[in-house]
Amino acid sequence: MASISNAITTPFLLKAVICLGIPDILGRESPLHYNQIAAKINPSDPNPDVVRRILQSLVRNKIFCEDPSGFFSHNNLSSTLVSSKNIHAMVMLQTSQPMVASYSEIHKLALGGSHESAFEVANEGKSLYQYASHNLGFSKMFRAAISETSERFMVAATREARKAFEGIKAAIGGKERSENEWNELLASEGFANISLSLTSSNDLQVVIEAYKCT
């Protein structure tokens, strides 16, 4: 139970390394000793001990790697934090003051009242969208996080769709098929709501619309 309670610190440690630019520092040059990382963060007044403690806390959660000499490098998880991977906005949104305040008020929803979400309880009765409409900084953060999430979803969906159609391509083998045969083939690959319609195009004789079962 103690480990579960302590897990709440992880998002804030992620926020710390993002704000300090550590993922990008290690993305450009790795491995680096924590003294070197601290010097790159603040050359005039480095604080290597704090940098070491932040990184070691994340290493215990399988984020970043550390060797016995105090040199740190990326692993698969930490490499997703570099700025080019676009996960920053989601981390920053989830650790923002309005979101953190809402998590601490979840229990109040069980006590009744007119609020529909913990976010409203913690933020003067405003829904997340209402709050964003009155706070430009939060609005930009929210839109960026949604954009990142949508992008990752579309990449994953495209990857899965490609796999499905590769399976269909292998099953087709260039054979002409009747409407019933197409329905059976697509259904066997997990598609539903299948619609076939003829077209007058010289390049394409049939248009198929099908939706993957979830």
Give residue-wise pLDDT tens across range 12-62. 999 999 999 999 999 999 899 999 999 999 999 999 999 999 999 999 999
Q: What does the pLDDT read at residue 200?
A: 46
For residues 111 and 94, give the distance between their C-alpha atoms in angstroms, rounded to a whole number.
Answer: 25
First to last CA, the chain: 34
8 A C-beta contact, residue 26 and residue 32 = yes
Q: What does the pLDDT read at residue 204?
A: 45
CATH number of the structural domain 2-85: 1.10.10.10
- CA angle in degrees (0–180, nearest 5) for 84-15-66: 80
Q: How many CA atoms lie within 13 A of 139 on its CB side?
A: 8
Q: What does the pLDDT read at residue 198?
A: 47
- How is the chain split into domains, by residue range? 2-85, 86-174, 176-214
Rounded to the nearest angstrom, the gap between the alpha carbon of residue 47 and the centroid of all alpha carbons in its chain is 30
* Residues of the chain where predicted confidence (pLDDT) is lower than 50: 168, 198-205, 214
Q: What does the pLDDT read at residue 86?
A: 66
For residues 16 and 47, give the distance between their C-alpha atoms in angstroms, rounded to a whole number.
Answer: 14
